[in-house]
Amino acid sequence: MRISALSRAARHFACASCVLLVAVLLQFWTTPARPAAAWPIEQHRGVDSCANESTSRMATLYQASPYGTYGFYIGGLTVNRSCPSHASFHNQAWANTVKAQGWNLQPIYSGRQPGCHPNTTVTYPISTNPTTAYSQGQSEGNDAIFQAYTRGIAGPIWLDMDIDIPDSYSCRPSVDNYIRGWMGAVRANAAYIPSLYTGYANANRAATFAVANRPYQVTIPHWNNIPGVYGGLPNLNRSYWTGHQRGHQYRGGHNESWGGLTFNVDNNCYDEYVHGSTNHSVYAPCVQ
């Protein structure tokens, strides 16, 4: 049966409309532009710790282990309470030295935390007023930028929102607003990439924030020893953060021995931006 010119045109119009519709839908979840050449995307494993590791121990860990990225804390109210000397110990000189050794870095900031979780005592709670909480987030986001800058670090900074708040909890609106404020402040500075470390509930909600206040990438704790950013994170919506924007903390604090030394670390699998070293090496890729 011959196809009329009119129906052919109609099919072409319908096809073009489909393309347009898809393009419009993609705008709802798009990857903001970043200078990709400036920040290496690392598909590999790393560790984080709150111990004050000397640069000599860091050198041993780098040479003897398969890890390429090291997470450490740059500041925040919770860091000052949990690891009192950590942030000051990890100054610019320390950062420059370990980067010269080959390390990529995961700078982490941990400030106020949710105060409505029934099983947790919080010394520095996020305000229960959502407007105030947003301001607190902005203030601490700006502090995170400052702490990173004084260490000569640009690129991604992680907010450690350690306490995961289910949707039904009373302080959820404030917690979400704090995260919005923090991410918005960091995103407003083009030199930094707002990154979030948090549990599934917080992360799945943060994925729906307006782009200006949304984390660019997330790292999720789930100590299941499955070092994958999709298969290892079964409760993170698979349609969120799909463009090399995920990390997975797959094992919690434990001792590991490398080069004759013992380190107590978490294990992480990164498929996201990290702060690159000057002497970059590629390590084992993270299982997807």
Tokens in use for 15? 């096809």
Among 254, 261, 280, 285, binds other proteins (CB under 8 A): 254
Among 143, 266, 271, 272, binds other proteins (CB under 8 A): 266
Query: Contact at 8 Å (CB) between 76 and 143?
Result: yes
Residues 31-70 touching other proteins, rule: CB under 8 A, are 48-52
| Span from 33-41, 58-66, 117-125, 134-142 in contact with other proteins (CB under 8 A) | 117-125
Angle between helical axes of 172-187 and 130-149 (0-180°, round to 10): 40
- Is 83 an interacting residue with respect to other proteins (CB under 8 A)? yes
Nearer to other proteins, 82 or 96 (CB): 82
Among 91, 129, 237, 264, binds other proteins (CB under 8 A): 264
Query: Contact at 8 Å (CB) between 104 and 276?
Result: yes
Would the CA dihedral through 118, 119, 121, 122 be positive or negative? negative
- Is 213 an interacting residue with respect to other proteins (CB under 8 A)? no
- Residue 209 makes CB contacts below 8 A (sequence gap 6+) with 176, 179, 180, 183, 215
Rounded Cα gap, residues 275 and 36, in angstroms: 12
- Is 184 an interacting residue with respect to other proteins (CB under 8 A)? no
Q: How many residues bind other proteins (CB under 8 A)?
A: 44
- Is 105 an interacting residue with respect to other proteins (CB under 8 A)? no
DSSP element (H, E) containing 236: none
Which residue has 């050794």 as its token pair?
Answer: 101
Nearer to other proteins, 81 or 280 (CB): 81
Give the 3-state secondary structure of residue 113.
strand
| Span from 55-63, 173-181, 187-195, 248-256 in contact with other proteins (CB under 8 A) | 248-256
Among 129, 235, 237, 281, binds other proteins (CB under 8 A): 235
Give 106's strand partners: 71
Q: Binding string to other proteins for residues 131 to 160, with x set by CB under 8 A, is what?
A: -----------------------------x
Give the 3-state secondary structure of residue 48.
strand
| Span from 72-80, 148-156, 186-194, 276-284 in contact with other proteins (CB under 8 A) | 72-80
DSSP element (H, E) containing 178: helix 172-187
* Shortest Å distance, C-beta 272 to other proteins: 15
* Shortest Å distance, C-beta 208 to other proteins: 21
* Shortest Å distance, C-beta 63 to other proteins: 21
Query: Interior CA angle at 24 toward 22 and 26, to 5°?
Result: 70
Tokens in use for 129? 């007023």
Among 71, 75, 141, 181, binds other proteins (CB under 8 A): 71
- Is 121 an interacting residue with respect to other proteins (CB under 8 A)? yes
Rounded Cα gap, residues 196 and 246, in angstroms: 10
Nearer to other proteins, 4 or 121 (CB): 121
Cα-to-chain-centroid distance, residue 238:
16
Residue type, 276: G
Binding site for other proteins (CB under 8 A): 48-52, 71, 73, 77-84, 108, 110, 113, 119-123, 160, 162-164, 197, 199-200, 221-224, 235, 249, 252-255, 262, 264-266
